[in-house]
């Protein structure tokens, strides 16, 4: 199973404020590849906190894509209308093995802790990181400690009139 990340960070590397707030993300910006990316995946794997953040957007952001919510504490999910979600637990390798057996070929990995866990286990093949021109000073970082260096191969960097700078890497 191929696993990819498509995420925004502040220029100083944070994906959210310390309280999880993402009010600093631009509400209106030009298309920057998200629609094409989401069309390329057949499942989404997100952590519980990210799932709760997405629920706060109003409406369901993922359409009919199956979403697997990782949690070791929840026993059930409250789903918005039309959402196709399943609660899962286990380490990233177990999740990948389970979803691979179910036919998932390309998964979108989202949420700081989830991304960090998949990176530590060497399960992400592609990173697309869009830097937003804002400095938060503190917040929830995209990256955490890793047991070894993770070598990345630069694939492309794109800049947009709004100031977004997007870099794509393969691992």
Cα separation, 132 vs 155, in Å, equals 19
Rg (CA), the chain: 16
User: Which residues have C-beta within 8 Å of that of residue 23, sequence separation ≥ 6?
Assistant: 17
pTM, to two decimals: 0.93
Question: Which CATH number covers residue 6?
Answer: 3.40.430.10
Looking at residue 36, its pLDDT comes to 95
Looking at residue 55, its pLDDT comes to 84
Q: Which domain holds residue 31?
A: 2-170
Of 168, 166, 170, 164, nearest to 28 by C-alpha is 164
What is the count of structural domains for the chain? Answer: 1
Residue 74 half-sphere exposure, CB side, CA atoms within 13 Å? 16
Span 76-116, pLDDT tens digits: 888 888 889 999 999 999 999 999 999 999 999 999 999 99
Span 31-64, pLDDT tens digits: 899 999 999 999 999 999 999 888 887 778 888 9
Count of CB atoms situated within 10 Å of the CB of 77: 15
């Amino acid at each position: 199973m191929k696993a990819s990340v498509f995420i925004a960070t502040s220029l100083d590397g944070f994906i959210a404020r310390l309280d999880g707030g993402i009010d600093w993300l631009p509400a209106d910006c030009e298309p920057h590849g998200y629609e094409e990316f989401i069309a390329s995946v057949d499942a989404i794997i997100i952590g519980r906190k990210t799932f709760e953040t997405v629920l706060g957007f109003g409406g369901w952001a993922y359409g009919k894509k199956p979403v697997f919510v990782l949690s070791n504490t929840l026993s059930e999910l409250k789903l918005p209308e039309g959402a196709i979600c399943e609660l899962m637990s286990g380490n990233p390798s177990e999740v990948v093995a389970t979803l691979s057996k179910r036919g998932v070929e390309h998964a979108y990995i989202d949420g700081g802790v989830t991304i960090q866990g998949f990176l530590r286990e060497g399960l992400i093949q592609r990173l697309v990181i869009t830097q937003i021109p804002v400095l938060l000073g503190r917040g929830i970082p995209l990256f955490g400690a890793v047991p070894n260096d993770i070598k990345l191969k630069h694939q492309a960097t794109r800049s947009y009139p709004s100031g977004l700078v997007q870099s794509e890497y393969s691992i």
